[in-house]
A and B are shown apart, each in its own frame.
Chain A
């Protein structure tokens, strides 16, 4: 017991690490499952990055739709990423972070377009920004925001 109290810093560190690992990977698995399910659901909503790829003369409505998501990385993965900084190479933990944020943002944009009664989104643009306390420090990424926006158009199907 004394030994634990003497090394309280270390104990807290290990506890946070375990918590980050278990809760983080559980949350990520669930999130990916939800993303994939909704992507299947919204498959009929076409999204293109091109501007002029729709029949211009039978558009009945055009509105701007946006979607955004802020996703944070867990304690364990942040440590992994810091270690990666020493050796270099692919930082997998950050890859999944931005991937989740971006796909979530696109899904929200699609949902918004569906609510407007649109059936196609043209000129999709994606943007990411570092958010939060660590945003101005070069070394660390705390959380990222992904924005997806585009013009939702309703086409009169012939």
Chain B
């Protein structure tokens, strides 16, 4: 599965378009991490726990998108975009979408 965020797959030609595919996941942090983040909020700096959590979540969203593309018969997803939104207190939604294509 080839993933890119440009219109084409560089070095290859697109032979078929399948339309939009998407994947999303909603994640919340566990209490321990929230507590650490609360402490870190006083002194500032990077919240490593959150960084990892969001990265994992984004990978999963991308994975789901890729699976959907595979079911359609594609072998690449082009024009991928990411979005993050806070759906509720302490939970975040990670969303990935793109166009499924078949390349040769």
Contacts and interface: CB of A to CB of B under 8 A. Distances in A.
A151 B78 CA distance: 10
Contacts, number: 140
Interface residues of B, number: 37
Could you say which interface size class chain A belongs to? 35 or more
Contacts of B84: 127, 129, 131, 145, 147
Given A63-B2, A71-B46, A142 B41 contact: yes
Interface of B is mostly: mixed
A68 B54 contact: yes
A60 B41 CA distance: 44
Contacts of A70: 46-47, 50-51, 54
Contact of A59 (B10, B50, B85, B88): B10
A132 B51 CA distance: 12
Interface of A: 16, 19-20, 23-24, 27-28, 31, 51-52, 54, 56-57, 59-64, 66, 68-75, 77, 104, 122-123, 125, 127, 129-133, 135-136, 142-143, 145, 147, 149-151, 153
